[in-house]
Structure 1
Amino acid sequence: MEHVTECLDLLEQYMAGHQVVHDVEKLNFQGAGANDVYNCTAPFYDDGKWVIAARVEARDSERSHIGFFEEVNNGWRLMNDMPIFPLQDPFVTRIDGSLLFGGVWVEHRADGRATWRTLFYRGETIRSLQPFFEGPIGMKDLRIAQLTSGLILVLTRPQGQKGGRGKIGYVLLASLDELDLAKIECAPLLEGHFADDEWGGANEIHPFKNGDAGVLGHIAYFDHQGNRHYYSMIFTLDPFTGRHSPVKIIATRQDFLEGPAKRSDLRDVVFTGGAIRSNGRMTVYAGTSDAEAQRIVIDDPFEKWDHPAT
């Protein structure tokens, strides 16, 4: 069993590193009325426009849908002619040129409890998205990406007997045709990332030139008062061997602008959505305090690993 560095120690390492924040901005979403818009993707190109997918819901509700917002001069405007998906926490990637979109479907039961699973849709554009795959019941943060080799990396996040509060597993596929529930459920866990009373998940996979992957995600824990603390983190993964770097925190709530929270126990929450890497910088898009979406520009933490194979 590998040594696990607890979240508070990772936070101490982060604070000692004096990371430079080059820019920070709240995203201006228009057209969603009085609803909050948060937990967004990074911008992606679709049918000639730059688009952000984001979670839309009322402040006093957990019943969400995904809205698609197009870039306009002063922010991001809801595209009313786009399909509506009754999901939480969207993500996007491209595989063999097609758009793969997904989010978390939540079923609210009569006894007040909820069950959830990750749903995937596939199409050439947002308008043409069709149901593609349903992940296991009880699994959020299921992510898929195509590596530079063309192989498909799947990152899982079981909870319960196998994953505790949530740990990351991985499986490598030759193509999307091989994706099935059995492979996801049997995916081995990456050891050494999260203490048993803490949890984490992958939010976005960044393929490297050498065939490895950079994983952008979150790590979280409850404090003694029951408050949630979420931080943006990264690690790198060799998908053939399972070798990986330690988790490293790259952003905390204090790095973003102050703002409202959905509830008092969610004030210290950064939920990583996605990132764009360019010219040695990384622009991270994230939900803050389950109420707003912001972006932050930092030095690219993946740059030292992302190089051609030797």
Structure 2
Amino acid sequence: MIKLTKGEVKTCSVLVEEFKKNPENPEKITFSGVGNKDVYNITAPFEDEGEQVIAGRVEDRDSEHSEVHFFVEVNGEWKPRQGAPVFSLQDPFVTKVAGERILGGVEIFPHPTIKDGLGWRTVFYKGDRLATLTPFFKGPDGMKDVRIVELPNGEIGIFTRPQGEKGGRGEIGFAKVASLSELTVEVINDAPLLEGQFIKEEWGGANEIHVLSNGLLGVLGHIACFDEAGDRHYYPMVFAVNPENHQFSDLQIIATRADFLPGESKRPDLASVVFSGGLVRKSNGKAELYSGISDAEAQNIVIEDPFSQYEQ
């Protein structure tokens, strides 16, 4: 297994300067069958009962109350899958553990102490297929971007994103447990941070985890910041983690908003948001990056496979 080394913390602006543009073939993903609602922050396509499916966040332009729907492609458009479940969640993600499909997302609820405020947490469902998904775990209140991955030895890797006294605006932590039955709120809260990934004014999180051919974990995530006008900038990024010793590599931006097609945004301050949904690695050294764009739509682009560098 190659040795991973971490240098000095790099800001969004430094990572953008280092970014060597390679994205090509940007394409808007057309969704229908949900009225005038937006579909964004999607997963990459995944297989369920022999069919390619995309999970997407569906909501009105002026609302944060969203649902996760499952879509299948019909004549170039992605339409709601007939009979598929619908979940009251934001920002879906999928993986597999012990042969079972895992679906996760962000659940919002009335804040216990802030009048008219909302709280949030990451929740998980599992089943042998989408039709049988049932809830099995809720993460800590106030934490988005919790991700789990089955390691080659059967253990479960856990990526966390605390905010506040630990984590500031949002940093990534990592821990392991022997099995899903050992996944607890305490384990997530106690996960050590991967120190030195973000300056205190910026933040980020893990979106999708890939087990690489050498056992390293390739992390598709995001790094984010505010500009001087208060507008948000989200960038898809990658890094690798050795799950044995928790060593990790520097962050690397793999796309910017300018690499995608122009489009609408939920609000003006969200125009430069690219939320990494999922990555499909191809045999030709390329990869397809599926992303939510400006909190209003979904697109995909073709890039150089960002994880192959960690497998050499």
TM bin (shorter chain): over 0.9
1:1-310 equivalences in 2 (<5 Å)? 3-14=8-19, 17=20, 19-109=21-111, 111-279=115-283, 280-306=285-311
One-letter identity of the residue aligned with 2:230: G
CA shift at 1:3, angstroms?
A: 2.7
Q: Deviations over 1:132-185 (max 9, x none)?
A: 100000000000011223221110000000000000000112211211111111
C-alpha separation in 1, matches of 2:279 and 2:153? 21
Cα contact 2:23–2:255 (8 A) shared by 1 = no
CA offsets, 1:58-112, max 9 Å, x none?
0111110001001222121112421111000000001111000010001144723
**Residue 2 (structure 1) shift:** 6.6
Instruction: Give me the TM-score of the superposition, normalised by structure 2.
Output: 0.95
**1:178 & 1:61 partners in 2: Cα distance?**
36
Q: Is the 8 A contact 1:149 1:211 kept in 2?
A: no
Change (3 A) 1:138 1:262: same
Q: Tell me the number of residue pairs that the alignment of Structure 1 and Structure 2 aligns.
A: 304
Separation (CA, whole Å) in 1 of partners of 2:11 and 2:39: 31
> Deviation at 1:10?
0.8
In 2, the alpha carbon distance for the partners of 1:278 and 1:175 equals: 30
Deviation, 1:192, is 1.2
Provide the residue aligned with 2:3 in structure 1: none
**Per-residue deviation, 1:266:** 0.2
Task: Give percent identity, aligned residues only.
Answer: 52
Structure 2 gap segments, 5+ residues each: 1-5
Does the 8 Å contact 2:7/2:250 carry over to 1? no
2:71 and 2:158 map into 1 onto residues whose CA distance is: 27
Q: Is the 8 A contact 2:42 2:291 kept in 1?
A: yes
Per the normalisation by structure 1, the TM-score is 0.95
Gaps of 5+ in 1: none
Counterpart-to-counterpart distance in 1, 2:51 and 2:156: 27
The amino acid across from 1:195 in the alignment is: I
- Give the partner amino acid of 1:250: I
Report deviation, 1:251: 0.7
SS of equivalent to 1:30: coil
- CA drift at 1:129: 0.2
Instruction: Give 1:287's aligned amino acid.
Output: G
Q: Partners of 1:80 and 1:111 in 2: how far apart?
A: 39
Amino acid of the residue matched to residue 147 of structure 1? L
Poorly superposed stretches of 4+, deviation over 6 Å: none
